[in-house]
Structure 1
Amino acid sequence: MPTALASTPAAAPNAKIPQVTGLRKNGKQWHQSRKAFRPTAGQSSYAKRVEKQAQEAEVKKLEDEMKAEKEDERQRRIQAIKDKRAAKEEKERFAKMEEKMHRKRVERLKRREKRNKVLKS
């Protein structure tokens, strides 16, 4: 019968047994039982607080870096769309001009406009 002795709670001293309490006086058994008020329970040493603040600052810095990277990517996409639209409008404008004028003259105007754009910027 050594197996029967090993299975008893006395054989396992490190097993934690929950403390059984009676019914609550006010009858609200569905509420969690209250614990003693310990005003200094959440306090930690200065070194631990400084270490935690440093870690939070590092996380914040990494988050800001990631947000900035995401915003840069977004701005790059927006700029690409704007450039594409501007090129399309330019192409349509020259196509309209080709309907009215000779093709060679339109090409000459394009080159002249490109030179002016380079000089302006």
Structure 2
Amino acid sequence: MSTTTVASTPAPNQGMRRNGKQWHQPKAAFRPTAGLTSYEKRQRERLAQQEMKTKEKEMKEEKEAVRQRRIQGIKDKRAAKEEKERYDKMAEKMHRKRVERLKRREKRNKLLKS
């Protein structure tokens, strides 16, 4: 007999639902012990989750470091450009040699401060 095939396939139509909400999927019975797992299995899952989180954190930190390097490069480039413009503006008013002397003096002061 084919009782196993009949029992394993659910009936396609079970009639009208009592509350009248035919558009809802029929729910399975509540089984409180269905999700219980062994302690070892939970530990393995926890360990795998922890490893995944550390890997994600490393990847995020690496990505952020690349981003910060790019931002710092842009800032340095802008600062150099502003400084060059400032010296060019000074060169219009003063002699070239004096501007170069001021540059050297400012570089010395910057090195002393840091």
Superposition TM-score, scaled by structure 2 size:
0.83
- Taking CA–CA contacts closer than 8 Å with sequence separation of 6 or more, which of the two structures ends up with the larger relative contact order? 2
Q: Which runs of 5+ in 1 are unaligned?
A: 1-9
Correspondence for 1:22 among 14, 17, 27 = 14
Q: Which runs of 4+ in 1 moved over 6 A?
A: none
| Corresponding letter in the other structure for 1:22 | Q
RMSD: 2.1
1:106 equivalent in alignment to 2:94: no
In the aligned structure 1, how far is the partner of 2:53 from the partner of 2:107?
46
Residue 97 of structure 1: how far off its partner (Å): 0.8
Give the structure 1 partner of residue 65 of structure 2: 72
CA contact (8 A) 1:94 1:106 kept: yes
| Corresponding letter in the other structure for 1:84 | K
Give the structure 2 partner of residue 3 of structure 1: none
User: Larger Cα Rg: Structure 1 or Structure 2?
Assistant: 1
CA contact (8 A) 1:97 1:106 kept: yes
SS at match of 1:74: helix
Q: How does 1:12-91 map to 2 (within 5 A)?
A: 18-20=9-11, 22-26=14-18, 27-91=20-84
Aligned-residue identity in percent: 63
In the aligned structure 2, how far is the partner of 1:87 from the partner of 1:37?
69
Q: Which runs of 5+ in 2 are unaligned?
A: none
In the aligned structure 2, how far is the partner of 1:34 from the partner of 1:40?
17
Aligned residue pair count: 109
Superposition TM-score, scaled by structure 1 size:
0.79
